[in-house]
Amino acid sequence: GQQLNQSPQSMFIQEGEDVSMNCTSSSIFNTWLWYKQDPGEGPVLLIALYKAGELTSNGRLTAQFGITRKDSFLNISASIPSDVGIYFCAGTYKYIFGTGTRLKVLA
Amino acid sequence: NAGVTQTPKFRILKIGQSMTLQCTQDMNHNYMYWYRQDPGMGLKLIYYSVGAGITDKGEVPNGYNVSRSTTEDFPLRLELAAPSQTSVYFCASSYGSGYEQYFGPGTRLTVT
């Protein structure tokens, strides 16, 4: 079946550092979505990407829809402690979620 | 506007018992979804619905049933609970395919 692989699985960074994570698929997607999940909560949408090559920002977050349509990248600039959580990518074919990247920010 | 609400928040079931997880949305969304999230893992789609009266299986439908009699409600039924169904269950809704999904707060289920 469809799979979305996210890397890294987890990362510890210092406050103020930039963060990069990516998501790859074995199949093509028409839409990529990036979500953040805080402990004990449901995921909340951060960025939606609708076109191959698209680069979209939301504050300190920037995401890109890969040209091959099989991958996407999320960058967080100047991380702060509240960025801690699990970041998921999702593809809208069969509404599949990636395995998640667990981010911990050290103050 | 409450968004997506789920009840109960927590539940402990014995093996073989049954229960229904409730999900309601007040955004008039056509699409609704049920996911399960096992500890340290991502979300896996159980069932989804594209409108009242229409449901379809997701990645992990075995052991579950759903119905969609109204636009607002999308209950998930567990008939014979098994320890493998211990998980956190999230309901979500969206305007349509490819649109943002709004998630409920989750139901934490333990089967012992």
pLDDT for residue A1: 57
Percent of chain B's residues with pLDDT above 90 = 88
In chain A, the residue whose alpha carbon lies closest to the alpha carbon of B42 is: A99
Q: What is the DSSP letter of A59?
A: T
Both tokens assigned to A29: 């997607």
Each residue's pLDDT tens digit, A83-97: 999 999 998 766 788
- Which residues does residue A71 pair with via DSSP β-bridges, in sequence order? A24
Mean pLDDT of all residues in B62-83:
97
Each residue's pLDDT tens digit, B79-99: 999 999 999 999 999 998 878
pLDDT for residue B42: 86
Both tokens assigned to A65: 């829809």
Cα separation of A19 and A61, whole Å?
9
Of B33, B35, B42, the CB nearest to A99: B42
Q: Which residue has the tokens 């990645």?
A: B59
pLDDT for residue A46: 95
What type of residue is A27? S
pLDDT at A21 over 80: yes
Cα separation of B58 and B37, whole Å?
14
pLDDT at A2 over 70: no
The answer to whether B70 touches B55, Cβ cutoff 8 Å, is: no
Which residues on chain B are in Cβ contact (under 8 Å) with A95? Answer: 33, 45, 48, 58, 101
Q: Does B61 touch chain A (CB under 8 A)?
A: no
Burial class of residue B25, CB neighbours in 10 A (0-12, 13-18, 19+): buried
Could you count the other beta carbons within 10 Å of the beta carbon of residue A20?
14
- In A, residues 9-48, which contact B (CB 8 Å cutoff)? 30-31, 33, 40-45, 48
Q: What is the DSSP letter of A84?
A: -
Cα separation of A100 and B69, whole Å?
33
The answer to whether B48 touches A95, Cβ cutoff 8 Å, is: yes
pLDDT at B41 over 90: no
Q: For every residue of B20-49, which 3-state class applies, written as one string?
A: EEEEEECCCCCEEEEEEECCCCCEEEEEEE
pLDDT for residue A91: 83
What type of residue is A77? S
Q: B46: alpha, beta or left, given left = phi > 0 and alpha = psi -120 to 50? A: alpha
- Which residues does residue B94 pair with via DSSP β-bridges, in sequence order? B31
B58 contacts A30? CB cut-off 8 A: no
Q: Give chain A's radius of gyration (CA, Å).
A: 13
The answer to whether B29 touches B49, Cβ cutoff 8 Å, is: no
pLDDT for residue A94: 65
Of A33, A42, A97, the CB nearest to B100: A33
Which residues on chain A are in Cβ contact (under 8 Å) with B101? Answer: 33, 43, 45, 90, 95
